[in-house]
Structures are given as C-alpha cells and as structure tokens.
C-alpha cells in the first residue's frame, strides 16, 4: 500500500473535505482528489461516498464502509508514526518534543494550571499545547490522535479509550440571591418551574445536571444553553436562573453573597470523578509519561 496516498486519504477524512486537506498538506485540491482516486484504484474499493443525496458526516464528507475501515487502520498507523517521532525527539534528555493535552473547560481553567507549571519547571524545553473542549470533543480528538492525553469531567464509553479516575470534583446547585420563595409557596413546585442554565450536549457538567434532575424529580419550565461554566455562573449572578456548577468556580461568588447554593436531598450526586484518558494500546512518548507521572 502506498503510504503517501494513504496519508492524503486520511487527511481528507479528518478534515472533512478535499479543499481543507489540500491546505493542510500544501498541495493542490486536484492533486488530493487524484491521490484518493489512485488509492481507490489500487485497492479496487470505493473509499469516499459520491452518490447523490448521500447523508453528510465527518464535517461534510461521508466515507463508505470500506473507507471507514481503512480510516481506522490509517489512524493507528499514523498514531504509531507520531509516537515514534515523539519518542526519538524526547529521548535526548527530554530536551525536544511536544505535549498536547486535551482538557474539559473546568479542568483547563482551574485544575490543570498547577500541573503544567510544575511540568514546565522540570522540562522547560518541551512545547506544550492545551486543547479545550467538552468530554465528547476531547474523546474524539484523542481517537484522531490530535491530542496525547485527555483530562475530562464526563464518562466515556469507548473500548478504544483507556479511562482512569484522576480525582474528584465537587459540584453544587446555585441560584440568584434575588430568587425568593413566597411564604406559602410549595418548594417542589418552585423548583419545577425554575429556569435552568445548562452546558451543551457532551459536557460532563450537563451530564451531572441531568442526573440531579432525575433524582430530584425536577422538570424545568425552561432551559438555556451556554458554552462555558463561567458564562453560566455570570448568568446566575444576573438572576437568569439556576445551574449546576463546579464548586471551584462558584465558591468566591457564594462567599461574596452574589449567588447562593441550593440544598439537595441527594448530596452524593454532587461529587463527580475526573478522568484521565489515553488511546488504548498507543505507545506513550516520554513527554506524556513524564506529565502523567505528575498527575498521580
């Protein structure tokens, strides 16, 4: 198999289009299209779905069943290639190399910085990049070998990903200080007609919020979606509604009297594990091993 053609096909699948793959590889779009066609001819298998009205996926491009199988193999091949390159670079006393960490928003903003600071002090010549996203996004990028290690707030159900509990994170339900229940109001009724502010689907914080709704029999009258926990906390401060948020984010707001916590009959739900994710079976370069040692 021509690995040059395979790399071009893999880039097309990852980028979701021939034009974006051409930009990534610094070659022309016709050259990309021609390379994919050559690979299909060599294998005698269609790899890209070109039928009219095909359902789009992977950012606008759909692989055939055979194409998806080849893509999975290619991902493993180039993951091994990247690991080999990183390993060679990092063997020179960790004086060269790159570490790409994927982290959920709360972890990236609050839990991760002390570990990065310690790593930088020990290995000042290693380039570090932190990619921020929700649990679903980080898992996908780990499988696409765009990141080396993931730290997330939600559960991951994928046999290709090795998941290890890292530490616990406390959460709480908070509401505006201006929210008042009438003297004769039913608290259950009040909580069911509340406005709740949520993270997007795929977020570990949203996953916990939905669990709390189930156990507390909460049926929100209205929900509002926001893309970051900080934005949600600020929305609660301004009286928009209730939210489930990590305590590390809201503790100063609570102490300042700008928002207040809501009592729950299921406090155990308010502690969630944080997870370390690795691509199962992928060799770890020394840079990742050195960073992982700091997490333990």
Choice among 91-105, 149-163, 239-253 with the minimum mean pLDDT: 91-105
**What digits encode the pLDDT tens for the residues 226-285?**
988 899 999 999 999 999 998 888 989 999 999 998 876 455 457 888 999 999 888 888
Q: pTM of this prediction?
A: 0.63
- Mean of the per-residue pLDDT values of the chain: 86
- In the chain, % of residues over pLDDT 70: 89
Q: How confident is the model at residue 53 (pLDDT cuts 50, 70, 90)?
A: low
Q: Which domains, from first to last, does the chain contain?
A: 3-73 (1.10.10.10), 85-167+274-295 (3.40.190.10), 168-272 (3.40.190.10)
Strand partners, 277: 150, 163
The Cα 127–Cα 120 span in angstroms is 9
pLDDT on residue 51? 63
- Three-state DSSP at 244 gives strand
């Amino acid at each position: 198999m021509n690995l040059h053609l395979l790399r071009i096909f893999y880039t097309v699948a990852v980028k979701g289009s021939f034009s974006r793959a051409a930009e990534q590889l610094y070659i022309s779009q016709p050259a990309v299209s021609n390379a994919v066609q050559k690979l299909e001819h060599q294998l005698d298998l269609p790899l890209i779905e070109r039928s009219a009205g095909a359902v789009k996926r992977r950012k606008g491009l759909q692989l055939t069943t055979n194409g998806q199988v080849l893509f999975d193999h290619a991902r493993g091949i180039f993951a091994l290639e990247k690991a080999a390159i990183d390993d060679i670079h990092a063997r020179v006393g960790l004086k060269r190399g790159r570490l790409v960490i994927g982290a959920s928003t709360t972890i990236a903003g609050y839990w991760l910085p002390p570990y990065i600071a310690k790593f930088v002090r020990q290995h000042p010549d290693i380039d570090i990049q932190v990619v921020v996203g929700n649990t679903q996004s980080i898992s996908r990028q780990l499988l696409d070998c765009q990141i080396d290690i993931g730290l997330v707030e939600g559960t991951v159900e994928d046999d290709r990903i090795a998941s290890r509990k890292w530490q616990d994170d406390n959460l709480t339900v908070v509401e505006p200080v201006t929210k008042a229940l009438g003297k004769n109001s039913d608290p259950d009724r009040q909580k069911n007609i509340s406005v709740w502010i949520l993270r997007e689907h795929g977020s570990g914080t949203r996953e916990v919020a939905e669990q709390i709704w189930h156990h507390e029999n909460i049926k929100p009258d209205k929900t509002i979606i926001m893309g970051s926990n900080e934005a949600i906390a600020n929305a609660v401060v301004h009286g928009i509604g209730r939210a489930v948020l990590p305590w590390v984010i809201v503790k100063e707001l609570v102490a300042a009297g700008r928002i207040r916590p809501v009592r729950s009959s299921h406090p155990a739900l308010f502690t969630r594990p944080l997870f370390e994710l690795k691509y199962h079976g992928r060799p770890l370069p020394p840079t990742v091993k050195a960073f992982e040692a700091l997490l333990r």
